[in-house]
Structure 1
Amino acid sequence: MSLDFIIENEALRERFRGWKDVYMFSIVDISDEYVRVHDTPAQGPQSHICLYARKRAMRFYRAQITDTEPVVMHLAKQLERLQRGELLDCATFVALCDRVKDILVQDENIVHIASPVTICGDIHGQFYDLLELFKLSDAVPSTNYIFLGDFVDRGAMSVETIALLCIFKVLYPSAVTLLRGNHESRQTTAVYGFQVECLKKYDGDPRPYKACMEMFDYLPLGALVDQHLLCLHGGLSPAIHHLDQLRMINRFMEIPPDGPFADIVWSDPDPKNTGFHLSPRGAGYIFGGDIVEKFLHVNGLHHMSRAHQLCMEGYQVLFRETFSTVWSAPNYCHRFGNLAAVMEVDEHFQRSYKIFKEANRSQSVDVQGSASSSADVIDAGYFT
């Protein structure tokens, strides 16, 4: 089986030539109006490289196929479906997770990101609040986005939430960074709702959940903004003193119950203590400002940003402005009444926080539209 595609040519010819060997397709015809390509199986008879064309950009993804026809995902249409609150079909969701996994395998444990960047905390399946979040800052890809993990569980629309983030990861792989949180694991999702949600929404079919869990195993563990701001989901570990130790962790697996991998997705800061102490969560540690100060100094860092803890005002800054927690799930679980926030870092490394409330679910949101400038920057308290 083979597929032909007609792609509008907007200065893409050289990009096609440069990617030819990687994506294993041959150029059939080129003109000023279009590029026609003929693809060949990349990994045996069960996969093809398919092309998705937009007006100003073109992205690739690998689609799993049946014996007779490929599952071709028109991502713009799938994005529109998600904005309407509709579920992606099973085959599309599985293929989307597989494509994201193909992208993530190329990332190191710590991804290097340039400012400007918007840093987002826990989402926890609050899909409409995620749509609201995208109104706060510039649209992708004019600014980079880092999501600090915990995309799923607890909220009722975790499937739609991770699907939306995956679509943006495929469309803008270098502009959207997804990090691993403690809820991106089989053990946690089996307890806090995502596994049940997947099985219920896909009529008991185990493939979507399985594909998503396998994709989670490939998520990077951290992001480094302009070489000076480290992003993790949880916190620090007594076993990690240098960034190179973080880079050496084998992340392509289920999160273990203990050790440095577990620590960085489970640990929390404690402004009332010094040193490391076992966490009351049962995994990871709590750590004091002295630990943060030493880690930043040894690694030439200026700031560390993480998520993992509910902040009633959306964020909290600790340890003489060197450490911040960002929380992006407003009115968490529809009962805490908290605000949510994102942290923006501009080209001059200036940090600011934008606050938002729970979304009005009756409103339609264009996640690729222009940004709203109505968010206020306010001082934050903290909820432990």
Structure 2
Amino acid sequence: MKAATCDVEGHIEKLMRCEKLKESQVKDLCSKAKEIISKEANLLILSTPITICGDIHGQLPDLVELFSVGGAIPWSTYLFLGDYVDRGYNSIETYLLLLALKVRYPNRIFLLRGNHESREITQVYGFYDEVLRKYGSITVWKYCVETFNVLSLAALIDSKVFCVHGGLSPTIEVFDDIKALERYQDVPHSGAMTDLLWSDPDEQAGWGMSPRGAGYIYGPDVVDRFMVQNNIAFIARAHQLVLEGFKWHFGNKVITVWSAPNYCYRCGNVASILEVESYSEYFATIFDAAPQVRLLLR
């Protein structure tokens, strides 16, 4: 069912071509997206078939390529695991395109929060400066930050596939612990919400301090315990560059999905999406970077 919006279809067409929206249009779009997303749960309950996507990081041509590979919305349903902004040349167009698609097709695209959907992080890694350069003020950045603070924290597909940007937390044992979190805020410096966005799998057993300075590293025993307690088949997450596009950890228990090919326009990696037909039937599709257009550097 089509959501009541302003010219959201026109916005989608413009953003797909990397054309800038007016500040007033951004305000209206962010307001409508915030209204829709804020009504969704901390833990989204989703069903198959669905396509899981990892980090995008402002690489708009590659996001357009991703939709070409995975199928256009609404014919395909997508779950994005966060990190839409920073690093790439077109964070604002990338993020607004995803919001516009959410407003137009609220039941066909779902957006989780990544560690870069943060007021503090975006002031360091490029999004803040990009908006200032393109709009001449930080007002548009503020509108986007308001939407960051309502994004869901995790998802559960068919009650069997747990999806999150980073990983696990020592203070989260069952899904009700995620449901109880207060997510309508900027990302704290520590705590369960931060762990979900920042943590990484590691071969060493147990919990360890993360070299990132936030979250934890978690071992195979931690994953085994979480999977048994919550009766899940595997965990899908993003957050870490994988040169091969995707990587399994601890056998087939945790998969990292990376969807930004040639990350930062220099890493030479391929990207992937994980197409899930059921919790026992899924496959990764690999894709390369789209051709870069000079006008995207503006």
Using the size of structure 2 for normalisation, the TM-score is 0.96
Alpha-carbon distance in structure 2 between the residues aligned to 1:347 and 1:295? 20
Alpha-carbon distance in structure 1 between the residues aligned to 2:279 and 2:131? 42
Question: Which residue in the other structure is 1:102 paired with?
Answer: 35
2:22 matched to 1:83? no
Determine if contact 1:159/1:198 at 8 Å carries over to the other structure: yes
Question: Which residue in the other structure is 1:163 paired with?
Answer: 96
Moved more, 147-156 or 85-94: 85-94
Question: Which residue in the other structure is 1:145 paired with?
Answer: 78
Determine if contact 2:155/2:164 at 8 Å carries over to the other structure: yes
Determine if contact 2:54/2:80 at 8 Å carries over to the other structure: yes
2:225 matched to 1:281? no
Question: Which residue in the other structure is 2:224 paired with?
Answer: 293
Question: Which residue in the other structure is 1:319 paired with?
Answer: 250
Question: Which residue in the other structure is 2:190 paired with?
Answer: 258
Structure number, greater radius of gyration: 1
Pairs within 5 Å for 1:175-324:
175-204=108-137, 206-271=138-203, 273-324=204-255
Question: Which residue in the other structure is 1:59 paired with?
Answer: 3
Alpha-carbon distance in structure 2 between the residues aligned to 1:98 and 1:184? 17
Q: What is the identity, as a one-letter code, of the residue corresponding to 2:39? A: Q
Alpha-carbon distance in structure 2 between the residues aligned to 1:290 and 1:59? 44
Q: CA RMSD in A?
A: 1.1
Alpha-carbon distance in structure 2 between the residues aligned to 1:126 and 1:163? 13
Question: Which residue in the other structure is 2:296 paired with?
Answer: none
Pairs within 5 Å for 1:19-58:
57-58=1-2
Identity percentage of aligned residues = 44
Alpha-carbon distance in structure 2 between the residues aligned to 1:292 and 1:142? 34
Alpha-carbon distance in structure 1 between the residues aligned to 2:260 and 2:116? 14
2:37 matched to 1:93? no
The gaps in structure 1 that reach 5 residues or longer are 1-56, 62-72, 363-384
Alpha-carbon distance in structure 1 between the residues aligned to 2:75 and 2:61? 22
How far has the Cα of 1:138 moved from its partner? 2.8
Q: What is the identity, as a one-letter code, of the residue corresponding to 2:229? A: V
Alpha-carbon distance in structure 2 between the residues aligned to 1:354 and 1:131? 15
How far has the Cα of 1:361 moved from its partner? 3.3
Determine if contact 2:2/2:105 at 8 Å carries over to the other structure: no
After superposition, the C-alpha distances for 1:219-259 in whole angstroms (9 at most, x for unaligned) are: 00001111100100000011111110011110000100011
2:290 matched to 1:346? no
Alpha-carbon distance in structure 2 between the residues aligned to 1:336 and 1:160? 22
Alpha-carbon distance in structure 2 between the residues aligned to 1:340 and 1:171? 26
Determine if contact 1:115/1:349 at 8 Å carries over to the other structure: no
Structure showing the higher helix proportion among its residues: 2
The gaps in structure 2 that reach 5 residues or longer are 294-298
Determine if contact 2:161/2:279 at 8 Å carries over to the other structure: no
After superposition, the C-alpha distances for 1:67-104 in whole angstroms (9 at most, x for unaligned) are: xxxxxx31222222112221111111111111110001
Determine if contact 2:248/2:254 at 8 Å carries over to the other structure: yes
After superposition, the C-alpha distances for 1:24-72 in whole angstroms (9 at most, x for unaligned) are: xxxxxxxxxxxxxxxxxxxxxxxxxxxxxxxxx53113xxxxxxxxxxx
Q: Secondary structure at the match of 2:34?
A: helix
Tell which has more relative contact order, 1 or 2 (C-alpha 8 A, sep 6+).
2
After superposition, the C-alpha distances for 1:117-138 in whole angstroms (9 at most, x for unaligned) are: 1000000000000000001123
Determine if contact 2:86/2:116 at 8 Å carries over to the other structure: yes
Q: What is the identity, as a one-letter code, of the residue corresponding to 2:176? A: D
Alpha-carbon distance in structure 2 between the residues aligned to 1:347 and 1:285? 30
Question: Which residue in the other structure is 1:372 paired with?
Answer: none
Q: What is the identity, as a one-letter code, of the residue corresponding to 2:288? A: K
How far has the Cα of 1:143 moved from its partner? 2.5
Alpha-carbon distance in structure 1 between the residues aligned to 2:41 and 2:17? 35
Residues 1:348 and 1:152: Cα distance change in structure 2 (over 3 Å):
closer
How far has the Cα of 1:348 moved from its partner? 6.4
How far has the Cα of 1:347 moved from its partner? 4.1
Determine if contact 2:244/2:269 at 8 Å carries over to the other structure: yes
Q: Secondary structure at the match of 2:268?
A: coil
